[in-house]
Structure 1
Amino acid sequence: MTPHEQAQTAEPTTNFVTSADGTRIAYHSVGHGPGIVLLHGSMETARSHMAMAEALADAFTVHLPDRRGRGQSGPYGDDYSVRKEVEDLDAVLNETGAHYVFGVSASGVAVLQAARVLPAIHKVAVYEPALLLEDVPQLTGWIDRFDREMAAGKVEAALVTSMLGLRLGPPIMNFMPRGLLTWLTRLLMKSENKNAQPGDATMRTLAPTLHYEGVLLAEMADDADRFADVKAEVLLLGGSKGLPFLKPALSRLEKILPNVERVEFPGLDHGASADVSKQNQAGKPELVAAELRRFFTAAAAS
């Protein structure tokens, strides 16, 4: 059996670390070699990037934290902000000794902020970081309605509100009645719940996390220039079919980051780095993993 095959068959170990505010953060580790921390995006947990972790595990020790409020990690607590995300990542880096970090979407913005203040981070790769530079009032204005619907127990309606607010669906969604979208979402959630195994992260269980993702996006919006002081080398990744409103941020970051490389994957969308699932049928984590391998291997050899 080759080292790659051994890594693919190895079961991840689960460990815990305590963040600065006392919150317990779970992380799963697999593989051997220099450490990489893979941070998942919105409506995901650490388990959403297992395919990418397994593709890298023959050359790296891959650590997959559950961001707070998800999986086996503790709750958000009071005063949530990007600082909490940075502190959680800092705790994992200190515990594991890892120096390479990957983030996607909302966690991509948190990772870039962490790279400004954490010397332990030597190289960073981000896939379509959710840095909002255009139409910020519209892209963050959904949070109040989302909160009201969640408080009223209307989870399906709240999910529709977030999808429309963040323009996550195809353009035709903007012309469909909200009632129809809510009904379709309810059917999808019902099917997911029916097939879910104990402990699975479902849309219903992850829905409350969207409030905090909205808070994070609003906090970090409208200011790409803050990242001009990032000393780590940065790999900017995206797909040609990614979210259009995130492309201005990629272009701006490419101009201002001191040590930066940009790669666009033809035909890939915003969910390309995550495992293939019913909700993410176009996932291509093996392609993203190959680019991470190239980028982080160069770092490991230097």
Structure 2
Amino acid sequence: MTTTTTGTVTSADGTTISYREAGQGPGLVIVHGAMQTWHSQIELAGALAGDFTCYLPDRRGRGGSGPAGADYGLAREVEDLDAVLRATGARYAVGVSSGAVITLHTALTRPAALRKAVLFEPPLGLDAADVRGSLERFDREIAEGRIPAALVTGMRAARLGPPLFNALPRRVQEWVTGLMLKSQDGAAGQEPTFRELAPTQRQDIQLVVEASGDFAAYRSVEVETLLLGGTRSRDYLRTALVELERAMPRARRVVMEGLDHGATQNAAQRGRPERVAEEIRRFLKG
């Protein structure tokens, strides 16, 4: 088990951002994705801790960090990551899924904050109108306490459900999701349950909407960047990496055989953190 210590920073709008620290060496911030907290990539941090001091923040609205706030958006998330980078002196960042969107926009708008960045499958290239349309339904289902329905809405909006799950009728998807939630209820562990994290999915849907648009917007990113993905991930995620590589002058792409969108997660969640760490280490130390 990787040993961590806890720290906090204050973001630009006064929100407290909590993080865990592990390892030794140059600073590396790992920004988690949707339905996750700092603990979701603890094994990835453990695999890198011999070479880097890893900082694992809870994004706002989760864990030990402050609330998302009424003015929530991509700009606030960029400010949060910038605050962690400044406070810790870290110059490297790894972003996972929606965390990769945050890392990418930090590189775009605050290039001096980063020396190198790793983007693992940012969910870019979706139709903004379609995704935006899911927000109203998601909000209604959360307000009505229909957590399984809201989670299905979020998964369908981001097209991130497993292929077999996606083939099911919606009512069956909600039933299966409800069973999964019940199996987590009352379970002891360091990570919040999906039921507890469900409201935060709105934040990630909003990030996808804000970041949608022409990939040409990223032509001005000068930060040296590794674009990581897996051969088993959804087509649009792999296409996004291709488009980013074309647009960004200092980006290169590595696609890992047999891995999918959950590859950075802990082994108990069917991740392959050691394999992902190999590519991150090679890039950052190269």
For Structure 1 versus Structure 2, the TM-score category normalised by the shorter chain is over 0.9
1:22 aligns to what?
14
| Partner Cα separation in structure 2 for residue 146 and residue 58 of structure 1 | 42
| Partner Cα separation in structure 2 for residue 296 and residue 128 of structure 1 | 18
| Partner Cα separation in structure 2 for residue 158 and residue 134 of structure 1 | 19
2:225 aligns to what?
234
Amino acid at match of 2:23: G
1:294 aligns to what?
282
1:120 aligns to what?
113
- The within-5 A match list for 1:58-137 is 58-118=50-110, 119-131=112-124, 133-137=125-129
Amino acid at match of 1:82: L
Give per-residue Cα distances to partners, 1:53-89, cap 9 Å, x unaligned.
0111111101000011111100001211111011001
Give per-residue Cα distances to partners, 1:233-279, cap 9 Å, x unaligned.
000000001121222221111011111111000110001011123xx
Unaligned runs of 5+ residues in structure 1 are: 1-8
Deviation of residue 10 (structure 1)?
5.4
Amino acid at match of 2:256: F
Give per-residue Cα distances to partners, 1:154-191, cap 9 Å, x unaligned.
11111111122222224444553333222221111111
- The within-5 A match list for 1:193-208 is 193-197=185-189, 200-208=191-199
Candidates 164, 186, 190, aligned match of 2:182: 190
Candidates 153, 161, 165, aligned match of 2:153: 161
Q: Which moves more between the two structures, 179-188 or 24-33? A: 179-188
Deviation of residue 43 (structure 1)?
0.5
The answer to whether the 8 Å contact 1:17/1:24 transfers is yes
Q: Highest Rg: 1 or 2?
A: 1
Unaligned runs of 5+ residues in structure 2 are: none
2:201 aligns to what?
210
1:146 aligns to what?
138
Amino acid at match of 1:24: T
The question of 1:179 aligning with 2:171 is answered yes
Deviation of residue 231 (structure 1)?
1.4
Candidates 231, 235, 250, aligned match of 2:241: 250
Percent identity of paired positions between Structure 1 and Structure 2: 47
Q: Which moves more between the two structures, 182-191 or 235-244? A: 182-191
| Partner Cα separation in structure 2 for residue 261 and residue 21 of structure 1 | 34
Amino acid at match of 1:25: I
TM-score (structure 1 length as normaliser)? 0.90
Amino acid at match of 1:61: T
Across the aligned residues of Structure 1 and Structure 2, the Cα RMSD in angstroms comes to 1.5
Q: How many residues align?
A: 285
The question of 1:34 aligning with 2:26 is answered yes
The answer to whether the 8 Å contact 1:241/1:268 transfers is yes
Amino acid at match of 1:243: R
| Partner Cα separation in structure 1 for residue 2 and residue 260 of structure 2 | 29
| Partner Cα separation in structure 2 for residue 32 and residue 239 of structure 1 | 28
